[in-house]
Amino acid sequence: MGRLDGKVALITGAGSGIGKSSAHMFAAEGALILAADLDADSAARVAETIRERGGQSAAISGDVSLRDDCERMVAKTIERFGRIDVLLNSAGVTPRYAPDEWDFEKKWDWVIAINLKGSYMMARLTVEHMKKRRSGSIVNLASIIGLVGYPQGFADGFNPYPHSKGGVVQMTRDMAIGLAKSGIRVNALCPGFVYTGLTKSLTDDPDTLDMLESRHPMGRLGQPEEIAAAALFLASDEASFITGTCLTVDGGYTAQ
């Protein structure tokens, strides 16, 4: 019997990185997966692989910064599976991949809209259905950079990524308190630097990679599967008395 046997999980950002690893891991533990991603092909491939392995999954394309898309993603999950037991807000961006012609304000708006507003809207719309069952688990992807600043010399203090992830941390705590009596748990994961598409421009540079590895006491960066395993725990009934926590999965980074 799987740790998420029969539970329905809606995962944003499921087409790559931590979201993709979580979708596969959740499915292997018995969850029914709605894989949502801005990239329709990536979401479809994840869902197809899950089905090929004997699981149940459907895919949808959507932009979490758009309310209509968020409503579609939630509605499709309900239509396909009848309920939502777990929401994993994994969709996220970094200004490193914003178009060069964008100014600082447009980059800030874009990152906040995806990382913070998107997580807010997905949670707000999903909770409407969870409240009916008085049960549910929301896991938000924050970051250690939502708890501490970037190392000196790494950024100039105006990078919107830590601003967005700090917002996710506080949103998680406040939602957890507000939803506790409705039987809904809300927690966040704060990963250290992990090998994903979002960090590729950093990890491809040997000097930057050496610097980042040296910042983690374990001497290495994380793998998506290691973060997915923590998400699985928070999503499962094993974490039934855990809400409002921000779990660091960071190789010791924030213990220094």
Closest-CA residue to 121 (of 147, 101, 96, 140): 140
Residue 132, number of CB atoms within 10 A of its CB: 11
Structure tokens at 210: 């050496």
All residues at 6 or more sequence positions from 123 whose CB lies less than 8 Å from its CB, including other chains:
87, 89, 138, 140, 171, 175, 186
Name the active-site residue from 120, 161, 195, 253: 161
The yes-or-no answer on residue 120 being catalytic is no
DSSP string covering 165-219, please?
HHHHHHHHHHHHHHHGGGTEEEEEEEE-SBSSGGGHHHHTSHHHHHHHHHHSTTS
| Positions marked catalytic | 161
